[in-house]
Amino acid sequence: MISRSPNIENTGDGPPASDRPVRPALRYRLSWVRAAPLLARHIARTTPWVTLLAGCLAGTGYLSALARFTGGSQPLGQGNVRLAFLPAVAALAFVPRAPFRPLTQTTPVPAWVAPAGQLLLAAPILAATCWAQLRIIAHTIPPHSLGQPPAVYPLVAQLTGWCAVAVAAAACVDRSRYADLGGAIAAPASLAVIALAWYVPASASLLADPPATAHGVTIAWYAVTSAALTLTCAAMRDQWHRYSRSLHRQSSPERAPSTPLRLP
Amino acid sequence: MTAEGGPALPALDAGTAGNHAPAGLAERTRAPRLRTVLALARAEAVLLARSLLVLAGLLAGGAVVWLLIGRTEPLWWNVGWRIGSGQLVLGMAVLAAAQLAAGRARRNAMADLYASFPATAGTRTLAHLAGLAGAAPASLLLIGTAAMAVQIRGAIGAPSTAVLAGGVVLVIAAGAAGTAIGVRFPHPLAGVLGALALFLSSGQAHLPGGAIWLSPWESFSDQLNVLPGPLAGYPPGGAHAAELAGLTVLAGIAALALTVSRAWARGGLAAAGILAMAVTCFAGAVQLRPLPAAELNHLIAEVADPASAQRCTTASQVRYCLYPGFGSLLPSLEAPVDGVLAHLPARPSQPLTVRQAVSIDFTDPSFTDPSLAHGHPQRQVAQWNAQLQKAPGASAAASVIYPVAGSWPAAGAQLADAHFDMALAAAEWAVHLPPTTPAAVLGGQCAPLDQAREAIAIWLAILATHPPAGELQSGLAGPGGDVTPVVVQGVTAVAWTYPGESESYLSSPGPQTTAAGYLLANAMTNLPQQQVAHVLKDAWGRWVDWHTTDAHLAAALGIPMPSVPSLPPGAANAPGPQNPLCTG
């Protein structure tokens, strides 16, 4: 009995296939870094600016209208800022999106580069929105009012945590079967998580002031931010489906040539 | 091909087919169109009913309803409106789901494909609107579940059909608004923003006077939970349901107007829109009307002179007076009082009365609540305020306990706390501790510092209700975890917060309890009950005298004085409000 190699015979003029496996694509892991500046324009163009600005402006407009009609009789507080920032958080859930992921995963550039870049571009917009809303409520406080206004840093921590939760939800949805809906699922999910964190007594004791202290709220929300960003990084990775020109995978039939093919 | 993208109708060739063809053809085209609408509506209704978003909204709405009514007394005139708050949350989800459905074609870049179908865009929009009936089962399920839960907990009063129906109409109205948004703005963010706008317009509107009822479903500006009975026209359930129905029609008209192009259809929509606007405005005007003066007079009389409206009964020589409909509370009020009476060596000469009261801010008893007294002249309001000054609870009597109507919990740990509060109030009556008027709370409650009768009162309350030891012990620490100081005639002592003290189950709180009194009472519970009863009975008159100290009682019982937690550094000399000493 003649044993035949399962490989086709090289009948052309092409060089014979090497028996050694292809060296790991180390140079491909670093080459995308050189392409990053070229990607910046593409990332900027694919960022959903209209969606993001619509959310930010909707909340800011609501706060402005509230300040105009009620701020004279009743100064606005940080609670109003929390409500006004919700549209921006919802809009943020639509930002991180890896387009054509099955295709981009085959390129040398990791698929997470695009959504990460979009988030970096969105961060200044959100920061500006928060700043504008804080200025609006500051204008409604009478100049000679008694007592100091509450500290802003716990509020900033809380809004940062909200944004991180929205981003994590968006990243997870983008890797799920609902990826085509994207933010339509992530936005309500993140708003629901925020509402739960606010109203459930167990979480409210840590994340809401009162009953928690300002320092405690700040630490808790930054911990939530860290956890959410970790989850985001884990969800954005594409190592599971990374294309690899490993001959080990190609040569898997050579390992067991006598294994019969089983039909279902 | 027609302008709307549908196939050319055979009616365009009717002139060659004879005079009989147009009428018959018109009927035949209406019938398939209606069948198309119904078929599409059925499909959309099933999708909406099965939507995960609607299911999540249903669960969230149920959670909201439980949060709002779980800890309060199950009064139907309050619970019915709170169920509507849960319907609001469900409506937000339905709005988002309807917006996604209506914008599906444009969002998936299939507008041209849909345009090639026989069903026109107007037909599809009509089907979307009719398919909103798929949200009704979720809404009805929410009502049914909440109603069942309330009835199981012993509801007082009867539900208002108009209020409950208004909740269902609210959900449909939210869906119609979502459809209108989705037809114009297919991006999912539009639905989310619409849902947020619905939430903000309902919960955060802070509208003045009767205008609170104009928002889709106000949640925080009413006084329903403190009313001693249903008040006609508060809330205006029927008018509000009519307003929501008008808004539903207007939203549907807006959605159709964006998708139909025929002149006669647009004309019909305009006429319907005018009619719907008229109905909505009329319903709004009805809601803005002030409440009838006769109703408010009756309410003020019930509050200021409850004896004129309450029904009283006597049990174990204690008189219980409750508003009509609250009779089911009687066993819950009797239990802690009887528990205290069972261990009393002797009763005071003045009998105890338990009389329900309405929660009013007696430091400023005013009836200027915008949602109740709007539209009435200031002179009338001033008269009502003068009447409220005489309400029981404003000047607390030593032998009367005032449980607050609408605040008595139905079950759970809150009910246990309420029982302890009632038992402690009864025990304080038994040992002649003076009550504190609500107005005096601002100036500082009196404190029975180093008085044996305080420890005896707490001991009686513990025996009557058996609260968890951990909950009693936790009263030694204040909100920040440290002990709370209380200054009595220049002497700084450690305060003790009893279970339920901050919940206002009773209208007039008792004296400020101290840690020393609680710790001695706790030590007394570790002794044989007969031994303590014997010591108290032998010299009851001496123990209830305010001159008798904790040390005297501890010596008589043969136990050492418990050590009191130390105050934080600097607290002993820190300036603060002074509490008077309880005497008499």
pLDDT (tens digit per residue) in B255-301: 999 998 888 889 999 999 999 999 999 999 999 999 999 998 998 88
Indicate the SS3 state at residue B486: strand
For residue B281, the model assigns a pLDDT of 95
The string of pLDDT tens digits covering residues A145-163 is 666 778 889 999 999 999 9
Band of residue B18 on the pLDDT scale cut at 50, 70, 90: very low
The string of pLDDT tens digits covering residues B37-64 is 999 999 999 999 999 999 999 999 999 9
The string of pLDDT tens digits covering residues B94-120 is 999 999 999 999 988 888 898 888 888
Q: Is the pLDDT confidence value at A119 over 50?
A: yes
What's chain B's average pLDDT? 86
For residue A167, the model assigns a pLDDT of 95
Which residue of B68, B184, B193 to mutate against A (max A Cβ within 10 Å)?
A: B193
Nearest CA in chain B to A178: B52
Q: Is the pLDDT confidence value at B352 over 80?
A: yes
The string of pLDDT tens digits covering residues B293-349 is 999 899 888 888 888 899 999 999 999 999 999 999 999 999 999 999 999 988 888
Nearest CA in chain A to B51: A185
Taking the C-alpha atoms of residue B65 and residue B200, their distance in angstroms, rounded to an integer, is 18
User: How far is B498 from chain A, CA to nearest CA, in Å?
Assistant: 19
The string of pLDDT tens digits covering residues A53-66 is 999 999 999 999 98
Judged on CB neighbours under 10 Å (0-12, 13-18, 19+), B393 is buried
Residues in chain A: 264
Read off the amino acid at residue B140. L
For residue A264, the model assigns a pLDDT of 45
The string of pLDDT tens digits covering residues B550-567 is 999 999 999 999 988 877
Lowest mean pLDDT among A22-31, A115-124, A149-158, A170-179: A22-31
For residue B1, the model assigns a pLDDT of 42
- pLDDT > 70 fraction of chain B, expressed in percent and rounded: 88
What number is the average pLDDT over the span B371-392?
82
Band of residue B30 on the pLDDT scale cut at 50, 70, 90: low
Nearest to B175 by CA among B131, B224, B222: B131
What's chain A's average pLDDT? 79
Q: Is the pLDDT confidence value at B470 over 70?
A: yes
User: How far is B210 from chain A, CA to nearest CA, in Å?
Assistant: 17
What number is the average pLDDT over the span B427-447?
77
Task: Annotate A184-216 with DSSP letters as a single string.
Answer: HHHHHHHHHHHHHHHHSHHHHHHHSTTTS-HHH
For residue B24, the model assigns a pLDDT of 54
For residue A30, the model assigns a pLDDT of 60
Taking the C-alpha atoms of residue B54 and residue B45, their distance in angstroms, rounded to an integer, is 12
Taking the C-alpha atoms of residue B549 and residue B526, their distance in angstroms, rounded to an integer, is 20
- pLDDT > 90 fraction of chain B, expressed in percent and rounded: 53
For residue B320, the model assigns a pLDDT of 95
Judged on CB neighbours under 10 Å (0-12, 13-18, 19+), B11 is middle
The string of pLDDT tens digits covering residues B123-174 is 999 999 999 999 999 999 999 999 999 999 888 999 999 999 999 999 999 9
For residue B16, the model assigns a pLDDT of 42
For residue B12, the model assigns a pLDDT of 40
Taking the C-alpha atoms of residue B513 and residue B486, their distance in angstroms, rounded to an integer, is 10
Q: Are A147 and A71 in contact (CB under 8 A)?
A: no
Which of B60, B93, B189 lies nearest to residue A94, judging by beta carbons? B189
Domain spans of chain B? 27-289, 304-579
Report chain A's C-alpha Rg in angstroms: 26
- pLDDT > 70 fraction of chain A, expressed in percent and rounded: 75
Q: Is the pLDDT confidence value at A77 over 60?
A: yes
Q: Cβ contact (<8 Å) for A87 and B200?
A: no
Q: Cβ contact (<8 Å) for B187 and A83?
A: no
Chain B residues within 8 A of A87 when measuring between CB atoms? 192-193, 196
The string of pLDDT tens digits covering residues B179-193 is 999 999 999 999 999
For residue B322, the model assigns a pLDDT of 94
Nearest to B209 by CA among B81, B360, B379, B368: B368
Top-confidence residue, A62 or A144: A62
Consecutive H or E run containing A256? none
ipTM value > 0.90: no
Q: Is the pLDDT confidence value at A95 over 90?
A: yes
Top-confidence residue, A226 or B4: A226
Nearest to B60 by CA among B41, B88, B79: B88
Top-confidence residue, B5 or B389: B389
Integer angstrom CA distances of residue B441 from B341, B400, B446, B579:
27, 17, 9, 10
For residue A7, the model assigns a pLDDT of 54
The string of pLDDT tens digits covering residues A179-233 is 878 888 899 999 999 998 888 878 888 888 777 788 889 999 999 999 999 999 9
Lowest mean pLDDT among A121-125, B414-418, B562-566: B562-566
Domain spans of chain A? 26-140+152-241
Q: Are B422 and B403 in contact (CB under 8 A)?
A: yes
Q: Cβ contact (<8 Å) for B192 and A188?
A: yes
Chain B residues within 8 A of A191 when measuring between CB atoms? 192
Taking the C-alpha atoms of residue B332 and residue B374, their distance in angstroms, rounded to an integer, is 37
User: How far is A225 from chain B, CA to nearest CA, in Å?
Assistant: 23
Which of A55, A181, A192 lies nearest to residue B189, judging by beta carbons? A55
For residue B82, the model assigns a pLDDT of 93
For residue A263, the model assigns a pLDDT of 45
Which of B53, B189, B195 lies nearest to residue A91, judging by beta carbons? B189
User: How far is A219 from chain B, CA to nearest CA, in Å?
Assistant: 17
Indicate the SS3 state at residue B313: strand
User: How far is B115 from chain A, CA to nearest CA, in Å?
Assistant: 23
Which of A51, A87, A191 lies nearest to residue B187, judging by beta carbons? A51
Nearest CA in chain A to B199: A83
